[in-house]
Amino acid sequence: MLFSLEDIVLPGRSSAAPPPPSPSAAESATRRLFPVQGFENQVEFWKKKFTVYGERDLVFHDREDVRIVYDVLHLPPAAANQARETERAIQTKQDEIERLLDDLEEYFDEVEENHSPSQVLGPQHQRILQLLQNLGHTPSKQLFDDLEEGVRFQRGLKEKFQRGIVLSGMYMKHMHEIFRRHDIPPELAFLPHVESSFDYAARSTAGAAGVWQLMKGTARRFLTINKTIDERLDPLAATEAAARILKDNYAALGNWPLAITAYNHGKNGMLRARQQYGSDLRTIMQRHQSRIFGFASKNFYAEFLAAVEVAQNYERYFGKLTLLEPLQLDELRLRKPLNTRRLVQSSRLPVEVLKSYNPHITDYTWEHAATLPAGSRLKIPEGHGYEVSSFLQELQPRIQSEATASSARYRIRKGDTLLKIARKFRVSVQQLQEANQIPDTDRIYVGQVIRIPQRPAKSSQE
């Protein structure tokens, strides 16, 4: 069989989730699992970044104490020719702040040496001094020396977060169900607001992909990733993987602040930090010194807390929003390799619909009508599962007869590729893949014997 009807997963078949607890009980349980105490200042900083500062706002602040916000640079409306101007404006502002801190360092160096200061502090110097004193810092040469090294800026995320709330409607219901099934807190489903702003096609310069921003090395433990399929781009498959990673982190580290930080920093790195400094994330943040345990890792848990607060109460921050409707789908699993051209022809669904429901099928696969390997999962609009399965069942005898209607055999030699073999025998690469159940064109080896399908006979009219 090409498909098994028992493999069709219908949303209505899942068992009903238990009724949610009362809001006060739910909030109390969340606070126990995800403590906020000790992270209040960071959480407030990230809430502002998510809800107050937009993509044209650059917030200049201190790396260690995010309460220290020196200034906010408001960029003009984006234009194609403004990239250089924006870069210059950013550098000018950063230089200005560092110069003020350098002046203050020199000023207090002279004060501490009992010398009369050689310069008079201006309004901008006084503003920074007042800010630091209000936050409980004692001005000194060392303080300003440290602060000068820690000036950084963050672009606001208000528009992206709001857009992420809207996009999250497509899969959030399914994500919560997955986390409940794995017996871990469903609030973890809000983590993509931090990772990707629920951009299901997101890719990072470091190579992470999908709504959960999974790296290939980590994701291959749970997902299929090759030229044909990249399940990191399948929001549900990726959520299954993320749930297993987070659950494994929790089992190894013992609490959710460490487990969530490990999602960004890595489980092994957090295990080493815990071994040295114990299980309190605040202590680790203060004492753990590592080249890769930087601003992103130190703030990841606080970002998550802020994202949960904003996402659960988004109307308070953004007003009423119309979220995308939950995606209703049937899921089928391929029993045999299947060419995407045949899938489109026999499913009777528009190719754009199939693409939108199956973002894990790569562009290469669609463009080259490549073969999906056995075991691949296909998502179909709800109510079409049985129909599509029936169409493909009818197609199965023809696929089998075409695959076996061959008397030719060929032993692969050094330097051969499927493309070279296809050209030699005047057949298509896709025909070779189907006839020999080869899902990936790279998965052939020297000495392998493959069938060469017969070319269809030309009609007398051709």
Annotated domain spans of the chain? 38-42+158-318, 56-155, 331-396
- More confident call, 409 vs 353: 353
C-alpha separations of 230 from 73, 203, 282 in Å: 39, 12, 37
Whether 15 shows a pLDDT value over 50: the answer reads no
User: Confidence band (pLDDT; 50, 70, 90) for 93?
Assistant: very high
Strand, helix or coil for residue 203: strand
Element (H, E) at 72: strand 69-74
CATH class, 38-42+158-318 region: mainly alpha
**pTM of this prediction?**
0.81
Closest among 372, 380, 266 to 2, alpha carbons compared: 372
Please write the tens of the pLDDT for every residue from 108-148.
Answer: 998 888 777 777 899 999 999 999 999 999 999 999 999 99
| CA pair distance 377, 177, nearest whole angstrom | 19
Element (H, E) at 333: strand 329-333
- Determine the pLDDT at residue 4: 37
| CA pair distance 401, 398, nearest whole angstrom | 5
Please write the tens of the pLDDT for every residue from 320-354.
Answer: 999 999 989 999 888 878 888 888 877 788 999 99
- Determine the pLDDT at residue 25: 59
Strand, helix or coil for residue 257: helix
Q: Rounded to 5 degrees, what angle do the CA atoms 454, 372, 441 make? A: 65
